[in-house]
Amino acid sequence: MDKIFIHALKTEAIIGIFDWERQVKQTVLVDIEIGADITKAALSDSIDDTLNYKRVAKRVLAFIEGSQFHLVETLAEHIAMLVLEEFDASWMSLNLSKPGAIRSSRDVGVAIERNRDDLTRWRAARGAR
């Protein structure tokens, strides 16, 4: 499987469980890999035949900047579902980190992989609420 990737996408968001974290935006870094068949684009040399990573990056950045989740786990899950749903991806992986969240550590975060079946289960779980 081919992959399209975006590494070290950097932005700021309200994220965290402590009162002070709810008041100040913190840096968030995201690495995204999306499963894609790039054969058609490679043959045509046309952006219309591939996943436009600029559109993905802009959408993910806008989502993160507008979010106010408590947990990085929740933010990561929502980003994954957004990419699967809005960009019709079959599979994706995501690393999301908060640099400096723990003293003496470069960063902390989560790494997840999701696919279309996960999106179907996520939709059903959200509908059951």
Domains contained in the chain, number: 1
What does the H/E/C string look like for 86-129? HCCCCEEEEEEEEECCCCCCCEEEEEEEEEHHHHHHHHHHHHCC
Check if 10 is active-site. no
When pLDDT is averaged across residues 83-112 and rounded to a whole number, the result is: 93
Range of the domain at 20: 2-127
Contacts of 98 (CB under 8 A, 6+ apart): 15, 16, 26, 27, 28, 29, 72, 107, 108, 109
Give the active site residue among 3, 25, 40, 98. 98
CATH of the domain at 25: 3.30.1130.10
Which of the four pLDDT bands, split at 50, 70 and 90, describes residue 1? confident
CA–CA separation, 1 vs 28, rounded Å?
28
Q: What is the pLDDT of residue 129?
A: 61
pLDDT in tens, 26-47: 999 999 999 999 999 999 999 9
